[in-house]
Amino acid sequence: MNLEDALLIVNQLIKPIQLNHLQELVFQECWLGKTYYEIAENSGYDHDYIRGIGSQLWQILGNRLKTKVSKNNFRSVIRQYQKDKQTQNSEVITLISGIEKEDKVKENEVKLEIPEGTVPLDSPFYIERYPIEEQCYQEIVKPGALILIKAPSLFGKTSLKTRIINHSKKYNYHHVKITFGQADQSLFDDINKFLRWFCANVARQLNLQINLTEYWDDDLGSKISCTIYLENYILETIENPLIITLDEVDILFEYPQITTNFFPLLRSWYEEAKDVDIWQKLRLIVIYSTDIYVPLNINQSPFNVGLSFRLPEFTESQIETFSKLHQFNQNQLELIKKLTKLIGGHPYLVRLAIYYLKTEKIEENKFLETATTLSGIYGNHLYNQWRKIQQFPSLLKAMEKIVNSEKTVQIEPITAYKLESMGLINLQGNEVSPRCLLYRIFFRNQLAILRNNNDRS
């Protein structure tokens, strides 16, 4: 067995989670016979940290294989697993008959979806959060509509946006998607470059010649030039209304020179639609994860007009509906109720739990005990969140204050907004708290480990 085959087996074995970059690195190097010291030296990480990653990795594999796994024996364990699996697969064909075959057919009736990315339009597992969808469908057909969708990461913003756009197709609307995460960093340093990029993006997606030179006038300035371009070129050229979705808008909050110019421009286009017919063709959908923390004149902000709402968590009723769609039995439904005390109604965490329970067999106690650890169902998600905040000392310090207090606390506003956009906290006014018990327990434990390691060094 080569390394590539071994990695394939491991990734199949630990589904629905996946090895993160560092876990995969440690696995590869250990498979090749490297020591933790050698891995640490070559990768630039602390030796104890690499050893900890290795220990977590062997624990995950041990839990799945129900045997003790260590750095010394993991190769032989994986090879034996492959042999057993091949034998088992050859026997399955002759064993399936009668009731077993009927059970297999019933199981296949539910086509499961990995809870990652956008929920497909034809998915039976999309949970509507009434009346939000219906309000959006009604709003998007109004002349000059502006819809603002706010929610933390992994709450379903893109899935909702996709359904709004799909609804608009029956009216033959044009659609352009602007994702600010795809823009070059240099564009955020200059409002003129930024607006030219914006206009060129719109034209390209509409299959029009970009043709900026004819409409751009340095004497008039970039904002007026951008407005003229949209009005006299884009909106004049197309026959049907145009929806522009602005995604990952939070990225702009870091650049006051952009937000203080671009956001008032959006507001001015919205206001123009009240009086100028051609601007009624434009419909805007603005998607963001947290409140804007750059001061804007109330009369120039697009965030206090149009249809604006925050996507909520799943309710108990919605979680129960989602569980029943997966054909859960009563015992599984009871387990989900217990789990929601840990994760609340966080859509992604709920979806992941239900997918995991449907595809894996695990004891209830083990499921709940490991949920807050890196070896549990949420291990990959928790590790990614932990890695993100470790990159920013201010976020790390704030998170320590939040999870170690049983009451709500106050932290620096911009830090609060960033943590809210990641979905880690609830932000109410100036008060913050962990979004769910899962995050409180996990981050409290990880921060304690980090403190102990720092004390020893």
Here the CATH number for the domain that contains residue 424 is 1.10.10.10
8 and 139 share a domain?
Answer: no
- Tell me if 231 is assigned to some domain: yes
Residue 96 has pLDDT above 50, yes or no: no
* Confidence label for 109 from pLDDT (cuts 50, 70 and 90): low
301 and 216 share a domain?
Answer: yes
Residue 403 has pLDDT above 70, yes or no: yes
Q: What is the pLDDT of residue 88?
A: 63
79 and 145 share a domain?
Answer: no
Last residue of a domain, one of 310, 333, 349: 310
- Domain of 158, CATH number, reads 3.40.50.300
Q: What is the pLDDT of residue 110?
A: 58
Last residue of a domain, one of 310, 328, 351: 310
Q: What pTM does this model have?
A: 0.75
- Tell me if 124 is assigned to some domain: no
99 and 136 share a domain?
Answer: no
**Half-sphere exposure of residue 371: CA atoms within 13 angstroms, side-chain side:** 28
154 and 296 share a domain?
Answer: yes
Which residue in the block uniquely carries the two structure tokens 């249809």? Answer: 307
Mean pLDDT over the full length of the chain: 88
- Tell me if 45 is assigned to some domain: yes
Burial class (CB in 10 A: 0-12, 13-18, 19+), 260: middle
176 and 136 share a domain?
Answer: yes
Residue 55 has pLDDT above 80, yes or no: yes
Residue 451 has pLDDT above 80, yes or no: yes
159 and 290 share a domain?
Answer: yes
Q: Which of 140-154, 167-181, 367-381 has the lowest mean pLDDT?
A: 367-381
92 and 198 share a domain?
Answer: no
* Confidence label for 457 from pLDDT (cuts 50, 70 and 90): low
Query: Into how many domains does the chain fold?
Result: 3
Q: What is the pLDDT of residue 105?
A: 35
Q: What is the pLDDT of residue 95?
A: 41
Burial class (CB in 10 A: 0-12, 13-18, 19+), 305: middle
- Tell me if 178 is assigned to some domain: yes
HEC assignment per residue over the chain: CCHHHHHHHHHHHCCCCCCCHHHHHHHHHHHCCCCHHHHHHHHCCCHHHHHHHHHHHHHHHHHHHCCCCCCCCHHHHHHHHHHHHHHHHHHHHHHCCHHHHHHHHHHHCCCCCCCCCCCCCCCCCCCCCCCHHHHHHHHCCCCCCEEEEECCCCCCHHHHHHHHHHHHHHHCCEEEEEEHHHCCHHHHHCHHHHHHHHHHHHHHHCCCCCCCCCCCCCCCCHHHHHHHHHHHHHHHHCCCCEEEEEECHHHHHHCHHHHHHHHHHHHHHHHHCCCCHHHHHEEEEEEECCCCCCCCCCCCCHHHCCEEEECCCCCHHHHHHHHHHCCCCHHHHHHHHHHHHHHCCCHHHHHHHHHHHHHCCCCHHHHHHHCCCCCCCCHHHHHHHHHHHHCCHHHHHHHHHHHCCCCCECCCHHHHHHHHHCCCEEEECCEEEECCHHHHHHHHHHHHHHHHHHHHC
- Percentage of residues in the chain having pLDDT higher than 70: 94
103 and 154 share a domain?
Answer: no
The mean pLDDT of 342-369, rounded to a whole number, is 87
Q: Which of 29-43, 237-251, 309-323, 412-426 has the lowest mean pLDDT?
A: 29-43
Cα–Cα distance between 417 and 435 in angstroms, integer? 13
Q: What is the pLDDT of residue 108?
A: 45
* Confidence label for 86 from pLDDT (cuts 50, 70 and 90): low
- Tell me if 189 is assigned to some domain: yes
**b/e for 396-430, b at 16 or more Cβ within 10 A?**
bebbbebbeeeebbebeeebbbbbbbbbbbbbeee
The mean pLDDT of 319-323, rounded to a whole number, is 91
Q: What is the pLDDT of residue 87?
A: 65
Q: Which of 49-58, 79-88, 409-418 has the lowest mean pLDDT?
A: 79-88
Residue 412 has pLDDT above 90, yes or no: yes
- Beta bridge partner(s), residue 286: 148, 246
- Tell me if 299 is assigned to some domain: yes
Last residue of a domain, one of 289, 310, 331: 310
Q: What is the pLDDT of residue 83?
A: 78
- Tell me if 232 is assigned to some domain: yes
Residue 104 has pLDDT above 50, yes or no: no
* Confidence label for 190 from pLDDT (cuts 50, 70 and 90): very high
Cα–Cα distance between 177 and 183 in angstroms, integer? 12
- Percentage of residues in the chain having pLDDT higher than 90: 60
Domain of 146? 132-310
* Confidence label for 98 from pLDDT (cuts 50, 70 and 90): very low
Q: Which of 52-56, 86-90, 137-141, 445-449 has the lowest mean pLDDT?
A: 86-90
247 and 164 share a domain?
Answer: yes
97 and 138 share a domain?
Answer: no
155 and 85 share a domain?
Answer: no
* Confidence label for 155 from pLDDT (cuts 50, 70 and 90): very high
The mean pLDDT of 188-215, rounded to a whole number, is 97
- Tell me if 352 is assigned to some domain: no
